[in-house]
Amino acid sequence: MNTKTKIAGIELDSCILNASGPKDATMEELEAIANSASAAIMMKSCTIEPREGNEEPRLYVFPEGCFQSMGLPNLGYKKYIGFAPQLKKFKKPIIASLAGFSKDDYVTMVEAFQRSEVDLIEVNLSCPNVEGKPIVGYDFEQAEKLLKSFVGLGEKPVGLKLPAYYDMNHFQQMAKLVLKYNISFLTCINTITSLIINPETEATVIKPRKGIGGVSGTFIKPFGLSNVRIFYELLENKVSIMGVGGISTGTDAFEYLLAGADAVQIATTFEKEGPGCFERINNEMKEILKRKGYNSIESAKGKLKYL
């Protein structure tokens, strides 16, 4: 069973890859991903300068998922540009993920990665866990200014990692920007802002931002599926979509394909299970596709039925 797919014209050997976030900050971690069955090597969302991230405790793991306010700990964008030539030997697409704090940050990093050896550039407009910084993906006027500043700086495909949207007007506004600025792919969705309380201690479970953080895992799959589906329909299959959120089995991945995703990214399950999850999920999905008579990812993509 063939599970190859394409994201913005770049071929992947399967539709299962790691999401930016867990276990992808250092060269050692990236090499572990490269040696796994992940179809691509997704790097940590990087900033201009290295960051330690938020104070600890900043991560809370529970059976259904993870809850965190990491604050973008990373080595700085120049390190990841330097990693790319070393990762080329693994013959997998390399995806950079960028998180700026200003328009100049984004321009500087997009220009630099356009000249690098990465294959795709994912611009993160959705991080909810940096103190004092807004989620750019909810400010459509600011988002347009950013897109206008960095689109067209090179030939490598540029995509957007988006927050979860809940109102159709917001989907429509973002879809118009995506088409206007020829964005090549979308990643939907990032974590959802939440609060978890320990009733025994009567306290928050993480320290940053008075305990407010981003939740991932099983809880957010319905939000991820709805965002993928709505963008798939609004963009009329003109833009590649990678689904993220609550994917722990081949069935979860298959649901994202039905909703319209070209590929899926694995975060929480990778955090908990390690790199073996990519092969397991891909094999489970292959069995589902075979059982249902689909012979490729493309043949299943977007085939959601309505009652």
Residue 246, SS3 per DSSP? coil
Per-residue pLDDT of the chain (307 residues; tens, 9 = 90+): 889 999 999 999 999 999 999 999 999 999 999 999 999 999 999 999 999 999 999 999 999 999 999 999 999 999 999 999 999 999 999 999 999 999 999 999 999 999 999 999 999 999 766 666 779 999 999 999 999 999 999 999 999 999 999 999 999 999 999 999 999 999 999 999 999 999 999 999 999 999 999 999 999 999 999 999 999 999 999 999 999 999 999 999 999 999 999 999 999 999 999 999 999 999 999 999 999 999 999 999 999 999 9
Q: CA 165, CA 94: separation in Å to the nearest integer?
A: 27
* pLDDT number for residue 129: 63
Q: Tell whether the torsion through CA atoms of 116, 126, 248 and 268 is positive or negative.
A: positive
- Residue among 129, 123, 211 nearest 174 (CA): 123
Question: Domains in the chain, start-ordered, CATH in brackets?
Answer: 5-55+72-192+216-300 (3.20.20.70)
* pLDDT number for residue 114: 98
Give bridge partners of residue 46 from the DSSP assignment: 98
pTM: 0.97
Catalytic residues: 127
- Max CA pair span of the chain: 54
Structure tokens at 131: 């103190």
Provide the CB-side half-sphere exposure for 162 (13 A, CA).
30
